Structure 1
Amino acid sequence: MPAASTVLLNRLLARGKFRHAQVLMELAELGSVQRAADAMGMTQSSVTQSLAYLEQLLEVQLFHRHARGVRPTEACLDLLPVARQIVAGLGAGAEAVAARQHQGQGVVRLVASGAAINGFLLPALAAFGERHPQVGVQLQELERDDLLLQVSSGQVDLAVCRQPAVVPSGWRFDAVAGDHLVVVCGPHNPLAGRRLRSWKTLSEATWLLPPVDSIARVRFEEVAAGFPRPAATYPVVTRSLSTLVWLLRNKPVLALLPYRSMAAWLGQGLLSTVAMDTGFSLEPVGVLQPEQGTRAAPVLLARWLLSAAAEVPPGGGV
């Protein structure tokens, strides 16, 4: 008879080891006991014994053995996301303890959106690190629902993001920088810097489409509905900012994107904009912080970010 989930949980709590999560991950990624052992600094027999112990503990086969190595079972694939969370959590905990021991004032767990990082946070964090080297900052990039989940579950100390429709209970949002949609292109695109009053000239261009669930996509489709013919689109849709930047710099394409998301590349001249007022404003970027019970280090960083608001450059592209 299969063991109940509560029985398995109690076994893992009483007899499981953090090393088991690492063994699971390395075996699944490398597909070989020997390669996993080399990666973890263990012997091949130790890895084999750890795997056998874990399978016995869970009463399930985790890997299929074959001549070339191992292949994860369905049960293993179910467990892998949990194993990754465990190892990632341990890594974050180790960094926090090390920061506390070696830097004195602790560490700030900071989560931020791409627009916040590229449109405001990069120079502010660099200046903060120079002024307060005793404070460690752990920065993770997330978007929208994933970011707010980290906030509402108390897994972060601060968040820098676009103003949410509903601020999580116990937190407050302070705006730092306004934002709007701009038409972005490579610096050598014939339309770069060209001042336009209407979308007509852009109707013949090839466009990089934003993700379907983004406000930029909604606004682009509103504009494209007025084109004399369906808009020509490039066959890649992505949230990856590095991919967008590469395509814009190397292909004759345009994209309707938030100014703050592209500000770092626009400021360096790696990208350009079409000089027109799109008429599409966005919610501002700002700081989400707990209303009370915050440690000294997050409070220090939050104050720094808000004090830096006056130095945030205005949006371009108009």
Structure 2
Amino acid sequence: MSTFEATDVVRRLTARLKMRHLQLLLRIQQHGSLTRVAEEMSTSQPAITNALAEVEGMFGAALFDRSARGMAPTALGKVALARAQAMINDLGHLVRDMETVATGNAAHLHIGVIPFISGQMLSAAVQRTLPEGGGRLTLTIHEGTSDQLVQQLRDHTLDIAIGRPSTTVNIDQLEFETLYDQQPRLVAGRRLAAQLGRHRLNWRQLARLDWIMGAPGTPIREQVSDIFLKAGVAPPTPIIESYATKLMGELIVSSDKAVSIVPADIADELVRIAGVAIVPYSFDWTLPPIALFTRREGPKPDAIRMFAQALRVACKQDPHLKERQTEY
């Protein structure tokens, strides 16, 4: 596309593109059928066909391929859909920000976190975030896996995400800053922990226990499986796949065979809130690091910048993380 053509497209989109056009594109992506979109919007298929033609005319190219199997976005369509979702989400954030200001608060952030983030550390970061000009910072906390969170960050559902970078996490258009490493801890019920603690670490013996792990592909699950393989032992098939800490704690304390490997700070929280015990093994490896993810495009709003700085300070001052703090 030449500079002149690109300028012409920008002019058309600026003058004619509306939110209803973006919503139409997202509905077509969802249903893959103009007939279904028409039924959902209580209108005729010709009207939807004309509306799509209007939008594609603004872009100067087809946004969907038509086939007997339905409609699939073209390469340009995928770009347009990603931006459409981001703009729709940004509009929702604008309404929330207006409500926040109207109630006397300073800003509202949507923060994504993986389950194995210390609640104490996160709470300390929130308390240390002091918006400029007064008022309070309000938050919506979203939980998910790292790959889910970075996708939500990319489509503007989230303002910031705290997760684990890995080769399976798509960080295109994102920036990430490593905050700290986490030491692994084996947790079990008190009786089982005492039994295991009387003997040397034996991966073959551990493989016969009932494991609680995350879903396949999650960084800790993959790393623990790799540790078993390096010890010449087939990785155990978990009886439960979950990183929900409360559920993990309840399952472990109610079983004489359940174990899991979790970060040291999370293990300490499980000891306190669920009564699990930490098996006194010393591992010579660390878990995948925790990182702060933000979008690369444009200047960062003050609320994001201030929360990020508060999070860095909270990580350095957290007694569980201080010894493991690594400079990058």
Give the TM-score normalised by the residue count of structure 1. 0.58
State yes or no: 1:182 paired with 2:181: no
Unpaired runs of 5+ residues, structure 2, are 167-174, 295-299, 323-328
Preserved contact between residue 135 and residue 297 of structure 1 (Cα < 8 Å)? no
Cα gap change, 1:31 to 1:127, in 2 (>3 Å): same
Give distance in 2, aligned partners of 1:288 and 1:314. 19
SS of the aligned residue for 1:92 comes to helix
Give the superposition deviation at 1:54.
Answer: 1.8
1:19 and 2:26 correspond: no
When residues 272 and 8 of structure 1 are mapped into structure 2, their CA distance, relative to the original with a 3 A threshold, is farther
Structure 2 counterpart of 1:275: 279
- In structure 2, the residue matched to 1:233 is 236
Cα distance in 1 between the residues matched to 2:39 and 2:125: 37
Label 1:65 to 1:294 Cα distance change in 2 as closer, same or farther (>3 A). Answer: closer
Cα separation, partners in 2 of 1:286 and 1:246, compared to 1, 3 Å: closer
Q: Distance in 2 between matches of 1:61 and 1:284?
A: 39
1:204 to 202, 208, 211: 208
- Mapping for residues 70-81 of structure 1, pairs under 5 Å: 71-75=70-74, 76=77, 79-81=80-82
Q: Tell me how far 1:57 sits from its aligned partner.
A: 3.2
Q: CA shift at 1:171, angstroms?
A: 10
C-alpha distance in structure 1 between counterparts of 2:38 and 2:249, whole Å: 40
Residues 199 and 157 of structure 1: CA distance in aligned 2, closer, same or farther (over 3 Å)? same
Partner of 1:295: 302
Shift of 1:181: 0.8
> Are the structure 2 counterparts of residues 133 and 192 from structure 1 closer, same or farther at C-alpha, using a change threshold of 3 Å?
farther
Q: 1:301, 1:232 → 2: CA distance?
A: 37
TM-score, scaled to structure 2 = 0.57
- Shift in Å at residue 162 of structure 1? 7.4
Aligned to 2:55: 54
Letter in 2 for 1:143: S
Query: What secondary structure is seen at the aligned counterpart in 2 of 1:234?
Result: coil
Tell me which residue corresponds to 1:44.
43
In the alignment, what sits opposite 1:90? 91
Q: Does structure 1 conserve the Cα–Cα contact (< 8 Å) formed by 2:187 and 2:259?
A: yes
Are the equivalent residues in 2 in contact too, given 1:158–1:302 (CA < 8 A)? no
User: CA RMSD of the aligned region, Å?
Assistant: 5.6
Distance 1:255 1:304, change over 3 A: closer
Aligned residue for 1:167?
none
* Aligned partner of 1:143 among 146, 153, 156: 146
For residues 22-60 of structure 1, what are the alpha-carbon distances to aligned partners after superposition, in whole Å with 9 as ceiling and x for unaligned?
222223324566765686xx5425655533422343442
Q: Which residue of 2 is the match for residue 256 of structure 1?
A: 261
Task: Indicate the percent of aligned positions where both proteins have the same amino acid.
Answer: 16
Tell me the amino acid that sits aligned with residue 25 of structure 2. L
The 3 A distance-change label for structure 1 pair 171 and 34 is closer
One-letter amino acid matched to 1:73: A
Aligned to 1:103: 104
Letter in 2 for 1:234: T
Question: What secondary structure is seen at the aligned counterpart in 1 of 2:184?
Answer: strand
Displacement, 1:256?
2.7
One-letter amino acid of the counterpart of residue 198, structure 1: R
* CA spacing shift, 1:302–1:191, aligned 2, 3 Å: same
Verify the 8 A CA contact 2:146 2:165 in the aligned structure 1. Answer: no
Q: Would you say the 8 A contact 1:128–1:301 is kept in 2?
A: no
Q: 1:28 to 1:284 in 2, by over 3 A?
A: closer
Task: Supply the distance in 2 between the matched residues of 1:34 and 1:102 (Cα, whole angstroms).
Answer: 43
On the 8 A contact 1:30/1:36 being kept in 2, the answer is: yes
Aligned residues: 286
